A and B are shown apart, each in its own frame.
Chain A
Amino acid sequence: DQQVKQNSPSLSVQEGRISILNCDYTNSMFDYFLWYKKYPAEGPTFLISISSIKDKNEDGRFTVFLNKSAKHLSLHIVPSQPGDSAVYFCAASDGDGGSQGNLIFGKGTKLSVKP
């Protein structure tokens, strides 16, 4: 029973263009969402997050959008750079779980940014 779904296992984008990674969730109790980035042979690293009281959060080239009614969030990277090539994990929590680090992760989307 996947509560957090990333339906695209991979995405290929040209350098300089926009990368859009999508994530859907099923649990309406989730109220905090995060994106993690993972390079091979490394642990995931926190990238950006959004609370359910917002619909957008921006940090430099990275923007996360949340559509609560659709139970959907997306990560936009613009402009994409070759160094962005990694696996991106979407994660969610129900507030208390998040503060305790009990996150529900998706399976990840592998982003390849081609020069």
Chain B
Amino acid sequence: DTAVSQTPKYLVTQMGNDKSIKCEQNLGHDTMYWYKQDSKKFLKIMFSYNNKELIINETVPNRFSPKSPDKAHLNLHINSLELGDSAVYFCATNRAGGPSGELFFGEGSRLTVL
């Protein structure tokens, strides 16, 4: 039973399209995140949600919008996709009071924009 699951795992789409990546966690953790691993292999934080509140929003284009329908889900919507959006997107969680920085990651969703 996967603790943090993402769908789809692979996504190939055309520039200009709108797409979503879903994330679900069954750990009961309070905070969920989206990280992006770009072509240079850097993992960088995009968003985090805690109790349905956005608490971190790095310098991410507003074409990207996280949506959390409930505590167990944090979906990533991307509008007007660009070539540079091609990357692997990781969902992650951690629990309040847990070891600082100990994140539980999903398997990743590889997005390819043509």
- Comparing B11-19, B39-47, B79-87, the segment that makes contact with chain A is B39-47
The reply to whether A107 and B42 form a contact with Cβ atoms under 8 Å apart is yes
Residues of B within 8 A of A103 (CB): 43, 45, 101, 103
Assuming the A-B contacts A45-B105, A100-B31, A102-B48, are A95 and B43 also in contact, with contact meaning beta carbons closer than 8 angstroms in the complex?
A: no
Residues of A within 8 A of B31 (CB): 100-101
In the bound complex, CA of A89 to CA of B103 (Å): 13
In the bound complex, CA of A100 to CA of B49 (Å): 10
Could you mark each residue 77-108 of chain A with 1 if its beta carbon is under 8 Å from any beta carbon of chain B, else 0? 00000000000010101010011111101011
Residues of B within 8 A of A89 (CB): 43
The reply to whether B101 and A93 form a contact with Cβ atoms under 8 Å apart is yes
Assuming the A-B contacts A101-B45, A102-B48, are A107 and B100 also in contact, with contact meaning beta carbons closer than 8 angstroms in the complex?
A: no
In the bound complex, CA of A98 to CA of B33 (Å): 12
Could you mark each residue 18-55 of chain B with 1 if its beta carbon is under 8 Å from any beta carbon of chain A, else 0? 00000000000001010000001111110010100001
What is the interface size of chain A, counting residues whose CB is below 8 A from a CB of the partner?
Answer: 22
CB closest chain-A residue, reference B58 = A102
The reply to whether B102 and A49 form a contact with Cβ atoms under 8 Å apart is yes
A25 in the interface (beta carbon within 8 A) = no
Cβ of B21 to closest chain A Cβ, rounded Å: 13
Residues of A within 8 A of B44 (CB): 105
Could you mark each residue 101-114 of chain B with 1 if its beta carbon is under 8 Å from any beta carbon of chain A, else 0? 11111111000000
Residues of B within 8 A of A60 (CB): none
CB closest chain-B residue, reference A91 = B101
In the bound complex, CA of A98 to CA of B56 (Å): 12
Which of B45, B94, B108 meets A43, CB within 8 Å? Answer: B108
Residues of A within 8 A of B48 (CB): 100-102
Cβ of B40 to closest chain A Cβ, rounded Å: 7
Residues of A within 8 A of B50 (CB): 100
B99 in the interface (beta carbon within 8 A) = yes
Residues of A within 8 A of B33 (CB): 101
Other A-B pairs beyond A32-B100, A44-B90, A103-B101, 19, CB < 8 Å: A34-B101, A41-B107, A43-B4, A43-B92, A43-B106, A43-B107, A44-B103, A46-B102, A46-B103, A89-B43, A98-B101, A99-B100, A101-B31, A102-B45, A103-B103, A105-B42, A105-B44, A107-B41, A108-B41
